[in-house]
Amino acid sequence: MSNLYEEIVQHIFDRKRIPFPMIISVCGAADLGKSYLCSSLVETLQHQGYHVAHLPLDSYLMSREQRINHGISGYDTEAYDFATIIKNLTAFKVGKEFSFTPYNHEGGTKQEQHEIIGKNDILLLDGLHAMDPRLMGSIDFTIFIHTDDARLRNIRREADLIKRKQQPELSEKFEPVEFQKYKRFVEPYKQRANLVLYLQLKWQYEVRVTDA
């Protein structure tokens, strides 16, 4: 393959002969490049002639203030509006458009402008819980991104400071809790993924095909 993203696309179509429209789930810990991977796959698939859209699961996430008030984080499924997610994925599967409001990680709130996804061949859904059992009835192919625990924790701390604009002491306080939630609530999805990507360096992945 000429590049990683073409290799991933080839694995998808080799493994799953699913009629369009199809939904591909990209799951894994925070800050491992799920959105970057999706944008690269969108570009690759569009270059091959497919109509593709990208939907971040964070678009259905409570605001940071709401999560703090409820004592939960994005690793907790209660932080997401799954009823609306399911409704929108169902609409996509039958060729209907739907609207969503992207999440702003720096501000911890939804953006003001709605976006619309219409009829497409493929929808890429990425998020911590993009493989939640409630969604799997609509998902056709699953990808899980992971890395070593030490690297994951370092990446998380860096993202807290740069992407989320957190104070160092706040990151140090909450990072261990978030890591344990990842191990409990998100990492188990890896066992059911069709394709596993191991993050070696930033944006550099090793593809590991599974039997799922």
Q: Which CATH number does the domain housing residue 56 bear? A: 3.40.50.300
| Cα angle value 200/204/210 (rounded, 5°) | 75
The total number of structural domains in the chain stands at 1
Which residue has tokens 């080839």? 10
- Contact between 108 and 94 under an 8 Å Cβ cutoff? The reply is no
28: left (phi over 0), alpha (psi -120 to 50) or beta: left
From first to last of the 212 residues of the chain, give the pLDDT tens digit. 458 899 999 999 987 677 899 999 999 988 888 999 999 999 999 999 999 999 999 999 999 899 999 999 999 999 999 999 999 999 999 999 999 999 987 788 888 889 999 999 999 999 999 999 999 999 999 999 999 998 888 887 776 655 666 666 665 676 788 889 999 999 999 999 999 999 887 768 888 877 76
Judged on CB neighbours under 10 Å (0-12, 13-18, 19+), 99 is exposed
Q: Considering the entire predicted model, what is its pTM?
A: 0.88
Distances, alpha carbon 211 to alpha carbons 55, 128, 132, 193, 207, in Å: 26, 22, 19, 9, 13
Asked if omega into 133 is within 30° of 0 (cis), the reply is no
Range of the domain at 157: 4-209
